[in-house]
Amino acid sequence: IDLYLKYGNKKMIAPVMARANWVVENPAETTLELDYGKLETLDRWSWCDALFMAPPVYAKLYALTKDKRYLDFLNKEYKATYNYLYDKEEHLFYRDHRYFAKREANGKKVFWGRGNGWVIGGLAEILKTLPAEDTEFRPFYLELYKEMSERLAGLQGKDGYWHASLLDPDSYPSPETSATGFIVYGLAYGINQGYLP
């Protein structure tokens, strides 16, 4: 999509548009319970990483075409994943349903640093793309972005990094550079836009 926006060659966007159109016209009818033994569960955004992988694509296609089908699909599927995987007390996303009942060595819930990094990076991409004047959908993403940003900022380690386990960094003391990269990217976007202090 970005190459198409730069060069205007329709061959650059045709495959992604064809796939996105097929997905929108044939929405998956499967559970959000990720099961690698049932590959159809990968057709939904059933793990938090997917919130970086797919939603920004639909936001960009909407911005490019003004075809509201992309935006409707994005919002329906994003909110389904949010309602399923987002812990509204911790303001963090579970990696997938298999982590709901798991606990870290310190007794805290299991929230993966990199997975939440994917989510905050994806939210930045969505907010960069959705029109600022959109009052129907954008406020949800902006509020979620701010809520997660505040929580993530408070979980940064003394070493400047975020760790594999956000709530039990002592069990995973090595810096998690990919989580840190994503989270810094997400927070920097909000600071630069004036959404965060």
Just list the catalytic residues: 49
Tokens standing for residue 98: 């298999």
End-to-end C-alpha distance for the chain, whole angstroms: 32
What digits encode the pLDDT tens for the residues 15-33? Answer: 999 999 999 999 999 999 9
Give percent above pLDDT 90 in the chain. Answer: 95
Predicted TM-score (pTM) of the model is: 0.96
Which residues are within 8 A (CB) of 29 and not within 5 positions of it... i.e. 6 or more apart? none
Instruction: State yes or no: pLDDT of 134 exceeds 90.
Output: no
Q: How far apart are CA 73 and CA 14, in angstroms?
A: 19
Instruction: Write down the pLDDT at residue 17.
Output: 96
Q: What is the pLDDT of residues 83-124, one digit of tens each?
A: 999 999 999 999 999 999 999 999 999 999 999 999 999 999
Measured distance CA(49)–CA(96) in Å, rounded: 9
Measure the CA angle with vertex 150, ends 187 and 126; round to 5°.
50
CA distance 113 to 93: 10
